[in-house]
Amino acid sequence: MRRLLAAAALAACACSSGPAGTIITNVRIIDGTGAPSITGAVRFIGDSIVAVGDVQPARGDSVIDGGGLVLAPGFIDTHSHHTGDLLDLPEALGAVSQGITTIVGGNDGGQPYPLKDAFDTLAKVQPSINVAYYAGHGDLRSLVMGEDFKRKATAAEVDSMAKLLQQELDAGALGLSTGLEYDPGIYSDRAEVLALAKVAAAARSRYISHIRSEDRWFWDAIDEVIAIGREAKLPVQISHVKLAMVPLWGRADSLITLLEAARAAGVDVTADIYPYPYWHSTLTVLFPERDFSDRAEAQKVLREIAKPEGLLIGRFAADTSYQGRTVAELAVRRKEDPASTLMGLIRESIAYEDAHPGSGGESVVATSMDEPDIVRLMQWEHTNFCSDGALDGAHPRGFGSFPRVLGRYVREQRVMPLEQAIRQMTSLSAAHVGLTRRGTIAPGNYADLVLFDPATVIDNATPKAPHAVSTGIVRVWVNGATVWADGKTVRSRSGRGLRRQEQ
Ligand SMILES: [Zn+2]
């Protein structure tokens, strides 16, 4: 009874002085627009920011002293695979502990189908983080073509995909994503992708692409994504932009010149990037012709794309003792040359997966990018940051991407001012995926916020310890509720599914 009375008294107090809010005082506010920071306070009521700057607490407000640290908009991860384990891990440790408040799934052509059900599930699970989705070309293609996907689609099949895409856009997809280096997307031709991009354009949405090649046929793949933007007349984004082959190293300026020329000609082409010289995917993606017994190709891979000591096995269901070992180490263990090991691992994984469907196959963390290219591409003003990471993945990007940019590249290497880096994690990201009330600290926007220490923030996750939590991310709010504080997740249930039409 006493508790009930106390609650009544609190409510009465709030009524007499307007709704009680929360105010974060004594912070260096970086608002996400790229403007210089200001010192002050941010006040929010419920899920929305109401005042920014020279603001005093109102009666009944909870007051949080920010201790002079930086307060920024929550980071928006435009290319995330954190969605994959979100139902099992709704507190989203890997994401919220690095300051991410919104994740965008459905990338690389893969989506949960149908999105209507995915949004219903999110509403039931109530994760600690906001989630938006693209519609994925690969999954729509599989629904239409089934196992018979290793060919061009017929006009009728493309039409069926277009209908499914329209259904997913109506359900709230941000646009169309493709994964043209993966099965089944790799078997599509440009006309198929263009036809679907036109459906996305008619819905005034957008196109985001893991392009057809990040190595051998890189320039053709860049030409394709620009052509899609020009001909379908919609914004196009290059997912996790990279130059992933030794002969491409040093060509970042050539790429930016090409993209700037396209922009000057009216194509809204942009990119996202994660801050690591190694990617995480499957061994099979290294063979675009899908001939895994082609020794010359295997040797070329090991010479020009990733060295044997740079191919670290993440997952290997056929023999889990291989996990955490490089192809170089396994070649010694198997007493064979590295090309034989590379081909053998793929052969053994496929055989195991055939005998044990759904066992998990294989994955690899492959070092194939050059640091100066990464820096140059992240400095492009139309590049936003992403993680490409997962909550339970083998690549450290799932836990470290954003603190790594802030610590390693901004503080230590000074590759860009802090305000610019924050812009590329927030307002630019929001613009690139079509979110309107997130990405800046401004009255009326949702209270997605991150408090961090710019003097100490740094990633701790590594390929050997990919789930190590970062340092310096002090507190994180999603829709006005704390999701991360004192080095621990807080089960807020405040995350939401974000449908395109509601933005
Ligand atoms: Zn990808």
Residue type, 30: I
Nearest to 84 by CA among 107, 50, 61: 107
Q: What does the DSSP assignment read for 175-199?
A: EEEEETTSTTGGG--HHHHHHHHHH
Q: How far is the CA of 107 from the centre of ligand 1 (A)?
A: 7
Distance CA 322, CA 316 (A): 6
Digitized pLDDT (tens) for each residue of the chain, 503 residues in all: 334 333 333 333 333 457 899 999 999 999 999 999 999 999 999 999 999 999 999 999 999 999 999 999 999 999 999 999 999 999 999 999 999 999 999 999 999 999 999 999 999 999 999 999 999 999 999 999 999 999 999 999 999 999 999 999 999 999 999 999 999 999 999 999 999 999 999 999 999 999 999 999 999 999 999 999 999 999 999 999 999 999 999 999 999 999 999 999 999 999 999 999 999 999 999 999 999 999 999 999 999 999 999 999 999 999 999 999 999 999 999 999 999 999 999 999 999 999 999 998 999 999 999 999 999 999 999 999 999 999 999 999 999 999 999 999 999 999 999 999 999 999 999 999 999 999 999 999 999 999 999 999 999 999 989 999 999 999 999 999 999 999 999 999 999 999 999 86
Distance CA 73, CA 424 (A): 11
Q: How far is the CA of 477 from the centre of ligand 1 (A)?
A: 28
Q: How far is the CA of 155 from the centre of ligand 1 (A)?
A: 27
Q: What is the pLDDT of residue 18?
A: 72
Nearest to 31 by CA among 471, 482, 445, 432: 445
Distance CA 29, CA 21 (A): 18
Distance CA 87, CA 233 (A): 36
Distance CA 397, CA 99 (A): 13
Q: How far is the CA of 214 from the centre of ligand 1 (A)?
A: 10
Helix, strand, or coil here: 125?
Answer: helix
Scan for tokens 């740079």, then name that residue: 310
Distance CA 409, CA 421 (A): 9
How many Cβ atoms sit within 10 Å of the Cβ of residue 152? 11
For the whole model, what pTM was predicted?
Answer: 0.94
Q: How far is the CA of 238 from the centre of ligand 1 (A)?
A: 10
Q: How far is the CA of 406 from the centre of ligand 1 (A)?
A: 23
Q: What is the pLDDT of residue 9?
A: 36
Q: How far is the CA of 243 from the centre of ligand 1 (A)?
A: 13
Q: How far is the CA of 222 from the centre of ligand 1 (A)?
A: 15
User: Rounded to 10 degrees, what is the CA torsion of 451, 457, 463, 468?
Assistant: -60
How many Cβ atoms sit within 10 Å of the Cβ of residue 123? 10
DSSP structure class, residue 129:
S
Q: Report every protein residue that has its C-beta within 5 angstroms of ion ligand 1.
A: 108, 210
Q: What is the pLDDT of residue 390?
A: 96
Q: How far is the CA of 26 from the centre of ligand 1 (A)?
A: 40
Q: How far is the CA of 160 from the centre of ligand 1 (A)?
A: 25
3-state helix, strand, coil in the chain (%, to 5): 40, 20, 40
Q: What is the pLDDT of residue 34?
A: 98
